[in-house]
Amino acid sequence: MKIVEKLRLGRLATFILNKRLPVHNWFYFKEAFSRDLVLLLAETWGLGEGDLVLDPFVGCGTTPLACKQLGVDSIGYDIHPIMLFASRVKLRDYNAEELGEAVRGLIKSKFERPEVEVPSFVARVFREPVLEDIAFFKRKILEVEDEGIREFLLLGLMNAAMRCSWAHKDGAAIRVVKKPVPPLRKALKRQLLRMCGDVERFEGEASRVTIEHCDARKLKLADESVDAVVTSPPYLNKREYIHAYRIEQQLLDLGAPAQEQLIGVREEGAVEDFSEVGEFVEGKPLETKLYFNDMFAALQELYRVCKPGAKVALVTSDACSREGVVEVCVPLSELAERAGFKAKRILVVNRRFCTTPARKKVGVTREGLLLWEK
């Protein structure tokens, strides 16, 4: 297995390039990779009509949305309700005229003071009038019968609400940073009109897309049914994505992901068999053991559903712990081989210093694009 440095691909492993892309930017997910990574891989692999691409850790839907642009069928699975919601809204086919009508109707609606009932962690990041506006528009949106239009409007409201909030995210922590914010109605109008414009601008080809709740360790797919996989599992030691969206979850009435479905997470006292990943995790902390055990289960599932010759690209990173760097790119590729894949190469796309809480540098972590083949 070759390890090749390709730092010029580094931005492709981040969300940065998606920030300017219609529809891709309807949900800001720091842990996402870029559309252009998927387009590059699809071109390199020669994917086209009739192929099926899987992303078993779909996040905010980057892989299927890029596939939709190319007219390639795709399936995206995740266990996080807000990711599934965002992916669904981004991937739906809309009637621009109906959307425009719904948006105009909503923006024009006459304000009636609602009852506001939100938990204190939500109340503290909004001014009172903003909270009232959110509650008012949410009630109006929930009256919309068409599920597609309703969810589109709700995503728009969520984005506008966060734009008018004092929430400042710092990993999983949410701090209150008081600053001037625009009136919610104005932010909502801007947001929804921009999203409507995106619907008209987005150039997609006819293709089939499935977005579903599914644990990557138990894929709801037949053996040998997938032509290619582009994915990025949760990173070891990086759990922000579980907690960082609690305000948005509350605004959308969505729950949190179930604990037992999270990669590398267990209830206290759960008994675990690590025999399949034994030498990879010997002497490692429990968190690392659980992570590799779960990832091995996911890799075995991937192998099962891939057609012979299928290509896999997986973005991941070494982790940083108090003790120093925990390698992930290499052991995960070795586990992929154990699952049956040929691990072709690791493209190192980013290098980052690993620092202790006291800011002492204790090594360098590598973010990699792991390329395998069945």
Q: Which residues bind ligand SAM (CB under 6 A)?
A: 29, 31-33, 56-57, 59-60, 62, 77-80, 83, 215-217, 232-234, 241, 261-263
Closest contact distance (angstroms) between CB of 81 and ligand SAM is: 9
Question: Which residue in 210, 233, 199 sits closest to 87, CA to CA?
Answer: 210
- Please give the backbone phi and psi of residue 371, each rounded to the nearest 5 degrees, phi first: -115, 120
Rounded to whole angstroms, the Cα distance separating 238 from 235 reads 5
Closest contact distance (angstroms) between CB of 144 and ligand SAM is: 27
Binning the chain into helix, strand and coil, the percentages to the nearest 5 are: 45, 20, 35
Nearer to ligand SAM, 29 or 94 (CB): 29
Asked if 295 and 265 touch (Cβ cutoff 8 Å), the reply is no
Nearer to ligand SAM, 77 or 126 (CB): 77
Closest contact distance (angstroms) between CB of 56 and ligand SAM is: 6
Rounded to whole angstroms, the Cα distance separating 160 from 106 reads 14
Residue 130, SS3 per DSSP: helix
Task: List CB contacts of 102: < 8 A, sequence separation 6 or more.
Answer: 144, 146, 149, 152, 153
Eight-class DSSP state of 219: -
Nearer to ligand SAM, 106 or 370 (CB): 370
Nearer to ligand SAM, 68 or 217 (CB): 217
Rounded to whole angstroms, the Cα distance separating 279 from 282 reads 5
Closest contact distance (angstroms) between CB of 212 and ligand SAM is: 10
Closest contact distance (angstroms) between CB of 234 and ligand SAM is: 5
Of all residues in the shown chain, the one whose CB is closest to ligand SAM is 59
Nearer to ligand SAM, 136 or 291 (CB): 291
Rounded to whole angstroms, the Cα distance separating 359 from 147 reads 49
Closest contact distance (angstroms) between CB of 356 and ligand SAM is: 24
Closest contact distance (angstroms) between CB of 129 and ligand SAM is: 33
Closest contact distance (angstroms) between CB of 74 and ligand SAM is: 12
Closest contact distance (angstroms) between CB of 71 and ligand SAM is: 20
Nearer to ligand SAM, 56 or 368 (CB): 56
Eight-class DSSP state of 53: E
Nearer to ligand SAM, 78 or 132 (CB): 78
Nearer to ligand SAM, 16 or 118 (CB): 16
- Residue for token pair 């154990």: 338
Rounded to whole angstroms, the Cα distance separating 71 from 67 reads 6
Closest contact distance (angstroms) between CB of 55 and ligand SAM is: 6
Question: Which residue in 26, 42, 43, 24 sits closest to 34, CA to CA?
Answer: 24
Residue 21, SS3 per DSSP: coil
Nearer to ligand SAM, 109 or 261 (CB): 261
Q: Between the CA of residue 313 and those of 3, 105, 143, 223, 346, what are the distances in Å?
A: 14, 44, 42, 19, 10
Length of the chain: 374
Nearest 5°: CA angle at 84, between 79 and 90? 155
Q: Between the CA of residue 250 and those of 27, 73, 90, 162, 256, what are the distances in Å?
A: 16, 32, 20, 12, 9
Nearer to ligand SAM, 24 or 185 (CB): 24
